[in-house]
Amino acid sequence: MNLRTLIFCCILIPIMFFGILLILLLNMFNPTGDNFYRIAAWWGRLSAKLFGVEIEVIGRENYNPEQHYLVISNHAGMADIPLILGTLNLSLVFIAKEELGRIPLFGLALRQAGYILIKRGQNREALKSLTLASEALKEGRSLHIFPEGTRSATGKLLPFKRGPFLIAMKGGAPVLPVTIIGSHLITPKKSLKIYKGKIKIIIEKPLQPELFNSVEELRATSQEIIGNNLQRYS
């Protein structure tokens, strides 16, 4: 534990708690889920400033905030979610672990925001999650998934799973590849310490699923794009 960890525990967690209460209150008047996105995005930007994290975004011109996407990115640190929320100008819904839904108040806020909570290793529940995610895309929501399925301890890219790209095919939404560089140094895996540093976020042009012959081809192309950007910008 270091000073930034103490800032997180003593300042940012209490702010998050009161933010959740505000979200639940605002949801009584506007149940679209946008309240969660706005407050979570603000919290993500505040966290970066307090931790001394510099964020460089490359490729903002490659997407249209008025459209909806299946956003995919590599996953190397706990900071990835607030970074994406605070950087992308999209009202994003995440696919998250079911355990998060059990946290009092926070889990309720996630469900009200439309987050899709999945049980790992259960095929029937996983299939249900795929259906819910595809429906969210068809309804015009932007959805984010980490196709690696877990965090990389070293920042190196792990193999992409097939599920996210099946969702894209069924949901008919463009895939927006996003590369995050440096987050594994800010919040290392299996460590409570938080460090300052510089993060690069590279936004590539969207991929249209209908232009690909198969889910596997879309998966391979997406992994190649993010892998190339990791090498190019690291």
Q: Where are the domains of the chain?
A: 3-233
pTM for the structure as a whole: 0.90
Taking the C-alpha atoms of residue 206 and residue 204, their distance in angstroms, rounded to an integer, is 6
Distance CA 234, CA 232 (A): 6
d(CA 34, CA 89): 12
pLDDT in tens, 105-128: 888 888 888 888 887 665 666 677
- Full pLDDT tens readout for the chain, 234 residues: 687 888 788 888 888 888 888 888 888 888 777 888 889 899 999 999 988 899 999 999 999 999 999 999 999 888 898 889 999 999 888 888 788 888 888 888 888 888 888 876 656 666 777 788 888 888 888 999 999 988 887 888 999 999 899 999 999 899 999 999 999 888 887 777 888 889 999 999 999 999 999 999 999 999 999 999 999 998
C-alpha span between 116 and 156 (Å, rounded)? 26
The model's pLDDT over 22-56, given as tens digits with 9 standing for 90+, comes to 888 888 888 777 888 889 899 999 999 988 899 99
Kindly state the tokens that stand for 36: 């969660």
**Pairwise CA distance, residues 93 & 1, whole Å:** 31
pLDDT of res. 140: 87
Helix, strand or coil, per DSSP, at residue 114: coil
- Predicted pLDDT at 124: 67
Give the whole-angstrom CA distance, residue 94 versus residue 157: 20
Q: Give the pLDDT confidence score for residue 5 in this predicted structure.
A: 83
Write a three-state SS string for 142-183.
EEEECCCCCCCCCCCCCCCCCHHHHHHHHHCCCEEEEEEECH
pLDDT attached to residue 205: 96
Q: pLDDT at position 122, please?
A: 57
The CATH superfamily of 3-233 is Glycerol-3-phosphate (1)-acyltransferase (3.40.1130.10)
pLDDT computed for residue 120 by the predictor: 66
